[in-house]
Amino acid sequence: MGQLVYDARLATTLVVDGSSLSVSDVFDCASKRRDVELCEAAETLQHLEASRHIVSEAVEDGLEIYGVTTGFGSMADVAVPGGLAAESQNNLLSFLATSAGRPIDRRHVRAAMLLRANMLMRGHSGIRLELIERLVRFLQADATPVVNDLGSIGASGDLVPLSTVARAITGQTEFCRVEMEGELVDNQTALSRLGLEPIELQPKEGLALINGTSFSSAIASNASHQARSLLAICLVTNSMMLRALNAQKDAFDPLVHSQKPHRGQAWVAETIRRLLFHADVKHRSENGHVQDRYSLRCLPQYLGPSVEALSRVIQTVETEMNGISDNPFIDPASGRFIQNGNFLGQYIAVAMDELRSQLGLMAKHLDVQIAQLVSPEFNLGLPASLRGNDETIYNMGLKGLQITGNSIMPLLTYYGNPLVSHYPTHAEQFNQNVNGLSWGSANLAWQSVELFQIYTAISLIFAVQALDLRSKAFLGHCDGRVLLGDEPCALYESVYETLDVLTGEQRPLLFNDRDQWIEEQLSRLTANIRSSGSIVEAVQPTLDSWKAFHAEN
């Protein structure tokens, strides 16, 4: 993983107030595009102090409070004397030092720290402001604890990964590492560099730091944010492929979609009309078919459910990450400790199962379009495998690239299988006898996003090559831009710019097999997409249109 780079041009500060984060806010913080500070509103600080005071009084009065003056989980019947309540919280971070596997993307860790601070600022967890400030201090200094990818079942939230973060900011144990200033250091060194001392936890504070869905929600938020961009790229790429296949207009007629008024279907049809059948687009031709094949004609009906699903997913994620997932819940107004199950990650898990399924369906559709583009039986006169120089008999064109795409697409549909409903667990002496499995589902969603980013790069190469060759067939030159409206043209040009290739009239994007290194081209395009570079910028109008659709629905 490369170093995160702070961009001063995007330097607007994100204020954490417990209730107003969006997936864009989270990704900007995770990618270090925005700085972070805590809300200083008097009411917020009063809530924090009130809940902290309620905990202190309860311990002094010898009340039985889960996880404060009792053990944890199935050992809640073990009484913890008030004099040991603080030590029990510190020990909590030690017995949960059990993660395994490989380090997750550091952006997820940053996002999780932001979301935990956001939840704690609600003032229902009985924690000192000083500890929340430490989370933000680590974010501001880009000091990122190393968190492994195995260890949570989304039951009492993400106990194991969140305990890693808690150990880092408190220095209670040495059982964690922190990435900062280009080095991997122990948490004691990290604290020293930040001018902080190890801090002893007080009653309830360990539980407040680790009990909840903040990590699953963080990964889900990052995945959802990237999925929005991928949907926009997918639609604009599809419009380019439809143009290369001489798609007919009738299937996108507004009257068709008014008679079956699914919101997503109508929005896709409207988007394709804007992208593909713009009045300024010239050089149209009929394809000679009475009607197009299904992947062309049914595009709105096929992708419409994905459009709606992504909107539902993001609504779910944003609700979860701005909610309270702590147990017990403290009501500062009444002084009550309320036992609850808000820590269960079921909403995130189901949402991420759905996100993975929709990414697989989008890939499946692009795969069918690619198959048509490379097959002379179906592509209306384009060369086999879209080879650029068909005068050299042994040129094979994009045959190898299609094989690579075929290796990825089945993985995306396989990852689309649900995790939550298939694999029950009965952890922790049967206390956690139902589990959200949100951590696993969210991690799989991120893997799907990364795979689809590669597959999207592959699709772009096919789309641009097909347009260049269609232009050659229509007009005798290979500048595919003349077939496109503004937004598809911007995406086309971003591909050429990313690959550092000059658009020209004599040759398509890829000409002789031995003249290019497609592996390197894929790497460049994928990196551009992952960094929200010029490719994402090119499809911003479609992304903005989807955001408006999401806001209205």
Q: Which residues are the active-site residues? A: 66
Cis link prior to 161 (omega < 30° from 0)?
A: no
Give exposure, 453-492, as e/b (b: 16+ Cβ within 10 Å): bbbbbbbbbbbbbbbbbbbbebeeebbbbebbbebbbbbb
Count of residues making up the chain:
553
> Cα–Cα–Cα angle for 57, 62, 64, nearest 5°?
100
Whole-angstrom distance, CA of residue 441 vs CA of residue 351: 9
Residue 283's nearest CA partner among 475, 52, 508, 15 is 475
CA 7, chain centre distance (Å): 20
Whole-angstrom distance, CA of residue 552 vs CA of residue 481: 33
Please give the backbone phi and psi of residue 104, each rounded to the nearest 5 degrees, phi first.
-80, 165
Task: Tell me the pairing of strands 36-38 and 14-16.
Answer: parallel
Whole-angstrom distance, CA of residue 76 vs CA of residue 304: 48
Q: How far is CA 253 from CA 105, 147, 338, 380, in A?
A: 44, 50, 55, 23
Report whether 204 contacts 67 (CB < 8 A): yes
Under DSSP, the state recorded for 434 is: S
Please give the backbone phi and psi of residue 36, each rounded to the nearest 5 degrees, phi first.
-130, 145
Whole-angstrom distance, CA of residue 453 vs CA of residue 388: 25
Whole-angstrom distance, CA of residue 49 vs CA of residue 332: 9
